[in-house]
């Protein structure tokens, strides 16, 4: 496949903020972004998706089907907006890689056998292909789960291709709704896992108390004080002591998680809760990195959390002596790494390449990920 071919990546993450849409080419597997946009999720659809995530809607199957089509239509709109603003024609694009919106993630665990595991993403790829005329690759997680894996995280294969460097120990830390790390070892080995919540708890809490979708630069968290007892309560979650492969989602970390924890405490100022949630994200991420015992690792942050100045500062404090940068230093802006990853996964599917890393997900072996829906 020619290095000049263009691919589009669409990403709508756990945080349920805007859709990230980017068009790229991949000379030598290295991502070069031609153009990118953020496309808004309609508020009504976002509310419907949150209701499905939280299991709050009646007639859930009906709502699931409606949201699947609606999300597919919005993703197609994002593609058209991306192409219109870039001047690129649909026929110039080889394929779209669409992650879709996760509404339920139930990976294998001590409580759930592999045969009972599943992961569901909405955003009908038939609709995307029909409305754009571009071949669409989607439903990336379920083949890995069928092979006994977690279905997540799926970005380490891309991180290795895009950011790996022989002789260098690198950690790519993605802080989206959830946080995950890809450990790219100097000898070429790749491992990784979800470390726990990224932005999801902070976003849920600031939405509850401030009415905003996120805490810009962590300013509200910075105004508070970490409550050590509450932090230890959160850290007692058995998830943090589990060894990989492991993955998580809103099923485990949501506003209800915070409210359940606070029921065991007296009154705590909301800004102190926010400060504690930020420290929880930073500490669980940094603890996971330190447990790798890597020699002279280079840490690169990406995802929405990389833009949170307070969170970045706390991560640097918890990793003294470590180099902590963003993937901007590696040529891919931190905000666009995940969209780039799903464009790359679409390319991998069309080339018949494995898109998972069995050491990360626990799958029985490498698998071609994603169903292909011709344009």
Binding residues: 13-20
**What three-state secondary structure class fits 61?**
helix
Tokens representing residue 42 in the block: 């309609």
Break the chain down into helix, strand, coil percent, rounded to 5.
45, 20, 35
Instruction: Write out the E strands in 88-166.
Output: 93-98, 101-106, 118-122, 136-138
Q: Which residues are annotated as a binding site for ATP?
A: 13-20
Q: Of 230, 233, 220, 198, nearest to 304 (Cα)? A: 198
Distance CA 138, CA 99 (A): 6
Conformation bin of residue 200: beta by default, left when phi > 0, alpha when psi is -120 to 50: alpha
Whether residue 349 contacts residue 355, with contact meaning beta carbons closer than 8 Å, is answered with: yes
For 87, residues 6+ apart whose C-beta sits below 8 A from its C-beta are none
Distance CA 153, CA 178 (A): 10
**Cis peptide bond upstream of 245, omega within 30:** yes
Distance CA 200, CA 83 (A): 30
Whether residue 353 contacts residue 367, with contact meaning beta carbons closer than 8 Å, is answered with: no
Task: State the DSSP code for 121.
Answer: E
Distance CA 19, CA 123 (A): 12
Q: How far is CA 331 from CA 4, 68, 297, 334, in A?
A: 18, 34, 19, 9
């Amino acid at each position: 496949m020619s290095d000049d071919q263009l691919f589009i990546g669409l990403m709508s993450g756990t945080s349920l903020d805007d859709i990230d849409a980017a068009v790229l080419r991949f000379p030598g597997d290295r991502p070069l972004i031609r153009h990118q946009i953020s496309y808004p999720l309609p508020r009504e659809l976002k509310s419907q998706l949150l209701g499905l995530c939280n299991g709050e809607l009646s007639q859930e199957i009906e709502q699931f089907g409606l949201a699947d089509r609606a999300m597919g239509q919005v993703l197609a709109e994002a593609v058209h907006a991306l192409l219109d603003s870039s001047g690129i024609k649909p026929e110039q694009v080889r394929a779209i890689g669409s992650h879709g919106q996760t509404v339920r993630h139930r990976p294998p665990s001590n409580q759930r056998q592999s045969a009972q595991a599943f992961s569901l993403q909405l955003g009908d790829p038939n609709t995307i292909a029909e409305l754009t005329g571009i071949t669409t690759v989607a439903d990336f997680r379920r083949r890995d789960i069928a092979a006994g894996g977690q279905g997540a995280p799926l970005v380490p294969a891309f991180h290795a291709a895009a950011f790996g460097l022989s002789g260098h120990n690198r950690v790519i830390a993605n802080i989206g709704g959830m946080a995950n790390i890809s450990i790219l070892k100097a000898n070429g080995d790749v491992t990784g896992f979800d470390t726990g919540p990224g932005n999801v708890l902070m976003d849920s809490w600031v939405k509850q108390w401030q009415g905003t979708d996120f805490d810009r630069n962590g300013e509200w968290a910075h105004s508070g004080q970490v409550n050590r007892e509450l932090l230890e309560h959160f850290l007692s979650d058995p998830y943090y002591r589990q060894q990989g492969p492991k993955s998580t989602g809103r099923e485990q970390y949501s506003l209800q998680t915070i409210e359940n924890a606070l029921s065991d405490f007296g009154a705590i100022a909301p800004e102190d809760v926010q400060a504690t949630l930020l420290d929880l994200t930073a500490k669980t991420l940094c603890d996971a990195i330190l447990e790798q015992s890597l020699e002279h690792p280079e840490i690169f942050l990406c995802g929405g959390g990389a833009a949170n100045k307070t969170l970045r500062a706390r991560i640097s404090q918890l990793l003294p002596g470590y180099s902590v940068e963003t993937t901007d230093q590696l040529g891919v802006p931190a905000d666009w790494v995940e969209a780039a990853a799903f464009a790359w996964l679409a390319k991998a599917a069309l080339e018949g390449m494995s898109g998972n890393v069995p050491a990360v997900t626990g799958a029985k072996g490498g698998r071609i990920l994603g169903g292909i829906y011709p344009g």
